[in-house]
Amino acid sequence: MAKLYQIQQEIKKYFMGKTPNPKILSPQVQKELSIHKSLALEKINITMKQCFPLCFKILKDYWGEIIVDFYHNFPSKSAIYLQMSKNFSEYLKSLVFKMKFRKANFPKWLNELAEYEWAELDLSTFHPQDFINSERKKDLNEGDYVKLMKAHKIFKFDYPVSKIVEHLNSQRKIYNLAFFKKQKETLLIFRDKQDKVRYFLLSPGSYFLVDNLRYGIGLGDLYEKFMDKFNIKEKERLDTNQKIQNLLSNFRQEGILT
């Protein structure tokens, strides 16, 4: 009789769509095991549909095949159920390069959409809260130290993901998927004070600020860095300072800035 370890290695092969040793797992046993595998696939199917509703909208016709392919090739390495969704987003990102789905002609922005949907999920559920009451002071001073909350992600997308998301979320009929052409955008996706996940579209200037705020910085240093980077002339500095202040107050109101 095979050792337990060997049996489990064969089970693993079976679950990953490979051919197990029939001397260890007979064809009858494989049939019986297919009940367990079928149940696992059903669970994953339901969960991934819920976690990636927009990707599901555009992959609907291939969804069943995709779930099986995912299960065979991207088994989760985390016991936390939700982390499987991270795996799934990785899998979806690889989908456009997969020969077997070549005919399907998936949109080129699928990987970015998958990344966006995972970010939404991740930010809404993970990361213990690190809010401190950012409304305790009205104005920021140059001496203040400012930092973005942990519950955020920044993405530089090649496609207009924010527009794609908006479109897919609307109940309208889905356009020809090729409608969305390359158009770079930078998104700050964050969890707000009400625990809703939202995003800001970032201009090059605001991106520079946000990028510095991720690791924390003194406000005075931030102003200075900004002026250097964008060569702001002396006479425009006061005005620019004010604009930066406004942006930061906005962030504070949303609760994403300490």
Partner 1 sequence: MLTNKLKFYGLGIGLRDEIQKDILSYLEASSKQTLIQWLEIIPENYINNGGLPRKRFEEVLAKGVPLIPHGVNLSIGSAPQNKKRLEFDFYLLKGLKELFEEIKAPWFSDHLVNSRIGSHYFQELIPVPFTKEAAEVVANNIKYLEDYFQIPFLFENPSYYTNYGLRELREQTFINLVLEKARCGFLLDINNVLVNSMNHKYLPKPFLDDLDLKKVVQVHLGGLKRGYTSKLTGHKIKALDSHGEAVSDVALDLFSYVIKKTKVKAVLLERDMNFSEEGFLGLIYELKQIRKIMDSKYDSEEENEAEKTKLATNQTENISSAEPVTLETEANNRPASSLIDNKTADLNMNPSSIMSPTNSIPAITAVDDLSKNQLANDLDSLNEEFADLG
Name which position in 40, 156, 216, 221 contacts partner 1 (CB under 8 A).
Answer: 40
What track of x and - describes contact with partner 1 for positions 198 through 237 (by CB under 8 A)? ----------------------------------------
Would you count residue 25 as binding partner 1 (CB under 8 A)? yes
Name which position in 9, 94, 162, 241 contacts partner 1 (CB under 8 A).
Answer: 9
**Rounded alpha-carbon distances, angstroms, from residue 196 to 124, 152, 244, 255:** 7, 12, 24, 11
Task: Specify the stretch interacting with partner 1 by CB under 8 A; choose among 81-89, 106-114, 175-183, 240-248.
Answer: 81-89
What track of x and - describes contact with partner 1 for positions 136 through 175 (by CB under 8 A)? ---------------x------------------------
**Minimum separation from the CB atom of position 196 to partner 1 (A):** 9
Would you count residue 12 as binding partner 1 (CB under 8 A)? yes
- Distance between CA atoms of residues 78 and 238, nearest Å: 51
- Distance between CA atoms of residues 171 and 90, nearest Å: 27
Name which position in 22, 42, 105, 224 contacts partner 1 (CB under 8 A).
Answer: 42
In the complex with partner 1, the residue whose CB is nearer, 133 or 176, is 133
Would you count residue 72 as binding partner 1 (CB under 8 A)? no
Would you count residue 195 as binding partner 1 (CB under 8 A)? yes
**DSSP conformational letter for 178:** G
- Distance between CA atoms of residues 84 and 93, nearest Å: 14
Q: Are 70 and 44 in contact (CB under 8 A)?
A: yes
Task: Specify the stretch interacting with partner 1 by CB under 8 A; choose among 23-31, 92-100, 135-143, 176-184.
Answer: 23-31
Helix (H), strand (E) at residue 245: helix 237-254
* Phi-psi group of 144: left, alpha or beta (phi > 0 → left; psi -120 to 50 → alpha; rest → beta): beta
If one counts every other C-beta atom within 10 angstroms of the C-beta of residue 111, the result is 21
The amino acid at residue 99 is M
Q: Are 97 and 91 in contact (CB under 8 A)?
A: no
Residues in contact with partner 1 by CB under 8 A are: 1, 3-5, 7-9, 11-12, 15-16, 25-26, 28-44, 75-82, 84, 123-129, 151, 191, 195
